[in-house]
Amino acid sequence: MDLRAFISQLEALNELKVVEGADWNLEIGAITELSDERNGPALLFDCIKDYPPGYRVTSNLTATPRRLAAALGFPPDIANIELVRRMRDRFKELRPIPPTYVEHGSILEEVYREEEVNLLNFPFPKWHEYDGGRYPGTADMVIMRDPQDGWVNVGTYRVQLHDRNTLGLYISPGHHGRLIRERYWAEGKSCPVAIVFGAHPLVWIPSYLGIPWGAEEYAFTGGLIGESLPVIRGDYTGLPLPALAEIAIEGDCPPPQVESREEGPFGEAPGYYGSGERREPVVRVKRVMHRHDPIITGAPPMRPPSSGHAHYIMRASNIWHELEGLGIPGIRGVWNMRAGSSRFISVISIEQKYAGHARQVAMAAMSGADGAYLGRFVIVVDDDIDPSNHEDVLWAVATRCDPATAMEIVNGCWSGPLDPTIPPERKARGDLTNSRAVILAVRPYHWRKDFPKVNRASDALRARTMEKWGYLLSF
């Protein structure tokens, strides 16, 4: 679970490009965006302007299904839905393995305390032109311990650099880290926080998945990789930190009435500056630990379909797992459209088993841990439709969905400040809800057998044709 080993793996797959001499101010972000738009390689920035060689930034590590498959140990050229299916199977079989505390780790190669701390020593990028500052927290792991039950939460939240020893920490309402932080504040206490800014993708990925309240991401990682994750105990917070992480900090997050600062704006995952600028809590940094020549991982939000990561695949796998965990039969595939920012458009393919089956699937999909937050459309299609093929899905919507009878709107759903459609006056009063559209693009169950046949050659005919005539074709 060493980031450097994964980078070497990408190098061997010809999936990595080293970029030297880029400026931390906008250039790293723009190169990341342009490369991702073209399905380019993962990027490793070195010799960054104003910083010594060896202080590096990496981005787009898992931006394509091929690189995500490599991280997960699957064949790099695996088909999209097969990748989701295998990940669903792994979730289904996963047995949590708690982390193991160790005395030493490469994260402790360099340690700075109190007045020695200077976050300006690191080339944290300013990713987008209109960002309010530099954002080290895009592919981060924010670590907190619940003060009542003692379990450890790891989440990916927005972290802004304010000065040499102060970070801004924005967490959207309803997320576990925010709920834990508020428990400390309710007692008039500061919340102990640790943040990791560089880790192997499989250590980071569970921090952005919808894992249930009380379940520990580190144990989930252990189940994902099949062995216990080695962690060291932070000497300031006592929180567990991955022993092989690249860079981490420890500190306190005081109640906002004690200290808060202007945070944002920041270019967000939906492709807008939706949440603007406002006063947010801070982290007072007391410790910095890092490896020699540390590597900062970045996954800046970009205007979809660019994303810098393959969250849409992992979330689809988790939604599939959640649906089957509810005992719903007939799920044949799940996909979150990349153009929908991995959350706004979910597509589920089913083999219809009974009347109401399609509507049940849609309602369940938008209610689970990964489907509930910041969604917009849930589309249910028949099992002859590949949910990862956008043209297939649009054909099903165009020809099997009667808007008067197969669409409905659900109001009052969980959203957040990133949602660009919530009017400013509603955001100001804390009304962070939106509506969801359910689109049932399936053959109507009661007369599905009488639905017109599809005018496409059967799989058997296509196979025979390819065997006989394939030599004449260019594919």
Fold annotation for 311-450: UbiD C-terminal domain-like (3.40.1670)
Q: Quick one: which of 336, 355, 354 has its CA closest to 345?
A: 336
Tokens of 334: 């799940």
Q: Which residues pair with 254 in a beta bridge?
A: none
The predicted structure's pLDDT at residue 407 = 97
Q: Quick one: which of 19, 12, 4, 209 has its CA closest to 109?
A: 4
Cis status, amide bond into 265, omega within 30 of 0:
yes
Q: How far apart are CA 72 and CA 69, in angstroms?
A: 5
Identify whether the C-beta of residue 381 lies closer than 8 Å to the C-beta of residue 396: yes
Identify whether the C-beta of residue 272 lies closer than 8 Å to the C-beta of residue 421: no
Q: Quick one: which of 217, 199, 219, 195 has its CA closest to 208?
A: 217
Residue written as token pair 């559209």:
437
Q: Which residues pair with 194 in a beta bridge?
A: 143, 250
CATH superfamily of 96-293: Electron Transport, Fmn-binding Protein; Chain A (2.30.110.10)
Identify whether the C-beta of residue 250 lies closer than 8 Å to the C-beta of residue 238: no
Q: Quick one: which of 9, 437, 446, 436 has its CA closest to 201?
A: 9
Q: What is the pLDDT along the chain (475 residues), one digit of tens a residue?
A: 899 999 999 999 999 999 999 999 999 999 999 999 999 999 999 999 999 999 999 999 999 999 999 999 999 889 999 999 999 999 999 999 999 999 999 999 999 999 999 999 999 999 999 999 999 999 999 999 999 999 999 999 999 999 999 999 999 999 999 999 999 999 999 999 999 999 999 999 999 988 999 999 999 999 999 999 999 999 999 999 999 999 999 999 999 999 999 999 999 988 999 888 999 999 999 999 999 999 999 999 999 888 778 888 999 999 999 999 999 999 999 999 988 788 899 999 999 999 999 999 999 999 988 888 888 999 999 999 999 999 999 999 999 999 999 999 999 999 988 899 999 999 889 899 999 999 999 999 999 999 999 999 999 999 999 988 888 877 6
Same fold, 96-293 and 311-450: no
Q: How far apart are CA 226 and CA 220, in angstroms?
A: 10
The predicted structure's pLDDT at residue 475 = 62
Tokens of 279: 């006063």
Pairing of strands 278-290, 42-46: unpaired
What phi-psi label fits residue 374: left (phi over 0), alpha (psi between -120 and 50 degrees) or beta?
A: left
Q: How far apart are CA 157 and CA 238, in angstroms?
A: 20
Would you kindly state where each structural domain of the chain is located, as residue ranges? 96-293, 311-450
Q: What backbone torsions phi and psi does residue 239 show, to the nearest 5 degrees?
A: -80, 150
